[in-house]
Amino acid sequence: MKVPFLNVQAQYNENKIAMLAAAERVLSSGCYVLGKEVEKFEKNFTEVSGTEYAIGVNSGTSALHLALLALGIGPGDEVITVSHTFIATVSSIQYTGATPVLVDIHPDYYTIDVRKIEEKITPRTKAIIPVHLYGMAAEMDAIMSIANKYGIPVIEDAAQAHGTLYNGKKVGSIGTLGCYSFYPGKNLGACGEAGMVVTDDSSLAAKVRKLRDWGAEKKYYHDLVGYNYRMDAIQGAFLDVKLRSLSKWDSRRKEIAEMYNSQLDKNMVVIPKLNPQSTHAYHVYNVRISNRDLLQKKLTEKGIATGIHYPIPAHLQKCYHFLGYKVGDLPVTERVCGEILSLPICPYLNDNQINYTIESINEIVNKNEFNNLHAQESITV
Ligand SMILES: *Cc1c(COP(=O)(O)O)cnc(C)c1O
């Protein structure tokens, strides 16, 4: 049996008629950048983000870059975030000329360790970017109380967390600004690149709107040095169609996660620990195990595709050597990166494929050189 990691074509096949109609509408309109298709999607997406404003851009990375610029962040400033994230979170900080300050993660939740934020705050700290990694919210209550105490704005990286609620609030609406990605493999994915900045602050929204479109509110009148970060009309139109399936897809992700949670051999693998204040969008479902590479290899042999999100943390990437971090600086992050394995959780997988994945894992971890003490032990570095 083959178990693919992703199946984005299935999303198209299910929505074919509406997506082809959307393409026809855009192509025959001659309006290919921003315009009413993007405006309609922006408006509808505020139901996911729970914010007054949503500004469509050309990627999640651009969304983060513009959120930072809208807050006036630049050279000499510091921005606190995690190393255990997709590289875009860290790079967007660096694009502004500010310095990324990387904090270790919570040993169970894998999101920013709120006990380690305050010691990194300096007079130069101009923002905190918590990442709602894998689709589960970071500990926003603690983050917001630290941020409010020091008067520091918060940018939520919600690129993996469409639809996640924290204490009943939609992620992206809790901090000063929120950023979403619609990269094709995300829970809500375009047929190309796209992203969104969300906020309740009207002046920040106006600034992001200007910055995405060459710093001009009126064409050719450039108030700010801006960017070409506009969302394509066709992506807005496709996303608006796919938005209608998001909650159905998320329910299926949750069903698959529950199958994994209940049936995986928990004496051998560590399953995700849920923060009781957050729901989980299960963009990624991963387990932790001592001999991760061997498990991955054996699963590949059985036709089961897996992933590692992410194998090398940002602070140990070649491109960030200049930040001066070394092995051992973020011990929980480093250990987690070496032990996590992401299992297939695409909503189009059927129960047979998930059961086959579960049976294969349980068989492999009980037959090979895996350390069964590992799953009981928690990370205490
Ligand atoms: C995908 C992702 C981004 C970047 O989004 P793109 O649309 O790929 O530019 C940023 N942060 C996180 C956590 C992501 O997963």
Q: Is the pLDDT of residue 373 over 90?
A: no
* Per-residue pLDDT tens digits for 36-67: 999 999 999 999 999 999 999 999 999 999 99
Closest CA to 121 of 104, 140, 101: 101
Going by alpha carbons, the residue nearest to atom 5 of ligand 1 is 60
d(C-alpha 112, C-alpha 256), whole Å: 26
Residue 379, pLDDT score? 75
Length of the chain: 381
Beta carbon of 89 within 6 Å of any ligand 1 atom: yes
* pLDDT tens sequence across 162-174: 999 999 999 999 9
Of the chain, the percentage scoring pLDDT greater than 70 comes to 98
Residue 221, Cβ neighbours under 10 Å: how many?
A: 9
Residue nearest to atom 2 of ligand 1 (CA): 159
Asked if residue 236 has its Cβ within 6 Å of ligand 1, the reply is no
CA–centroid distance, 136 to ligand 1, in Å, is 15
Closest CA to 84 of 312, 341, 371, 306: 312
Q: What is the mean pLDDT of residues 275-298?
A: 96
Report cis status (omega within 30 of 0) of the bond before 356. no
Choose one of 131, 183, 187 to mutate for the ligand 1 pocket test, by most ligand atoms within 8 angstroms of C-beta.
183
Confirm or reject: Cβ of 178 under 6 Å from ligand 1: no
Q: Taking the CA atoms of the chain, what radius of gyration do you get in angstroms?
A: 21
The model carries a pTM of 0.97
Read off the pLDDT of each residue in 17-21 and give the average, rounded to a whole number. Answer: 98
* Ligand 1 neighbourhood includes 88 CB (under 6 angstroms): yes
Q: Which atom of ligand 1 is nearest to the CA of 195?
A: 7
CA distance 214 to 34: 13
Angle between helix axes 351-367 and 246-263 (nearest 10 degrees) is 30
pLDDT in tens, 222-231: 999 999 999 9
